[in-house]
Amino acid sequence: MKRKKTMQTALALAFVVFSCSLVLIPLYFTVLNSFKPYPEIAANIAAFPKSPTLANFKEAWKRLDFLRVLGNTLIVTVFSAVGIVVLSGMTGYWITRHQNRFTKLCFVLILCGMSVPFQCIMITFAKMIGLMNLGNKYIGVIMSNWVFSMPMSVFLVTGAVKALPVEIEESAVIDGCSPWNLYWRIVFPLTKGTMFTIVSLEVLKYWNNYLMTQFILTKPQLRTIQIAMMSLFNEALFSWDVAVAAVTLSILPLFIFFVIAQKQVLSSATVGAVKG
C-alpha cells in the first residue's frame, strides 16, 4: 500500500514538472535571449549572454511605440474587465434567483455563445461593427469583449450564487436592504473569489486578443500591444534580438498582474469560506 502511494506521488510530481516545463522553458529562452545581441542568439540560443545588453529593449520600445500601445491595451483591458464583472455578475445573480421560463431560456441562449467560435462569425461581426459606427473606437472593442465574455462569465457566476445560502439574502431584505445594496453589499463580497477568477481569465484573453481587435482598431495610433507586435514581425527590418525583447516587454505587465491577482483570488476564496 505504501509503495503504491509512493508511486502515485512520484507520477503526480512528474506530471507537474512536465507541465511546468512546457510553460517555463519557452519563457526562459525568450527572456534569456532578450539580453543577447543577435550574433550570440544565432550562435547558441541556450547559452548565457556573454555581453548582456539592454539595447534590444531600447530598440523594441522605440519600434513598438511601447508607451502608446501599452496605454491603448490598458484602456481596452481595464474597461472590458470592469464591465464584464458588473454585467455578468448582475445577470448571473438575477437568473439564479429568479427562476422561470424566461430566465431559463435566457441562460440557455447565453450559454450557446460558448459553442460559436469567433472565426465563424467574424465577417458578419465586421459588418455589424461598420453599421453601428464602432470602428476605430475603444468602445467598439470593449463592448465586443463584453459580448464574447458573457457566456463563460455568467456560467461561473450562476454556479457561485447557487452555492450561497439564500437565507442571508432574505435576512438582508427583512432588514430593509434594497435590491441594489443586496447585490453589492451582500452577494458580491461573497462571490469575490469567482469574480477575480473571471477577471484573471478574461484579462489574459483581452491582453492577447489580436484578430477581433484588428478588425475594429485599424488606425496606427489605436494599436494594442498584439497588433504592434505583429506589425513589428512583418517589418522588413525584422530581427530576432529585437523580437524577443518586444515579447518580453509585452508579457511583463501581464505577469505582474497575475502575481497580484493570484494573491487576491486566494484571499477572497478564504474569506468567502469563512463567511459561508
Helices (H), the chain: 2-33, 38-43, 55-64, 66-97, 101-112, 118-131, 138-162, 166-174, 179-181, 188-190, 192-208, 211-216, 225-234, 240-275
Confidence of residue 254 (pLDDT cuts 50, 70, 90): confident
Output DSSP code: residue 235: S
Q: What is the pLDDT of residue 237?
A: 63
Please check the confidence at residue 43 and state whether its pLDDT lies above 70.
yes
For position 263, what pLDDT does the model report? 66
C-alpha span between 80 and 146 (Å, rounded): 6
The more confidently predicted of residues 261 and 267 is: 261
Closest CA to 141 of 72, 91, 85, 201: 72
Q: Higher pLDDT residue, 262 or 271?
A: 262
> Which grid coordinates are listed for 88?
455578468
CA distance 119 to 125: 10
Low-confidence winner among 41-45, 61-65, 83-87, 181-185 (lowest mean pLDDT): 41-45
Q: How far apart are the first and last CA of the chain?
A: 37
- Residue 264 in this model has a pLDDT that exceeds 70: no
Structure confidence at residue 265 (pLDDT): 57
pLDDT in tens, 207-248: 998 888 988 998 889 999 999 988 888 875 668 888 889 999
Q: Label residue 70 by pLDDT band (50, 70, 90).
A: very high
For residue 74, pLDDT over 60 is answered with yes
Q: What distance in Å separates the CA atoms of residue 229 and residue 132, rounded to the nearest whole number?
A: 28
- Select from 99, 94, 209 the least CA-distant residue to 157: 94
**What percent of the chain has a predicted confidence (pLDDT) above 70?**
93
Give yes or no for residue 37 having a pLDDT over 70.
yes
Count CB neighbours of 232 within 10 A: 18
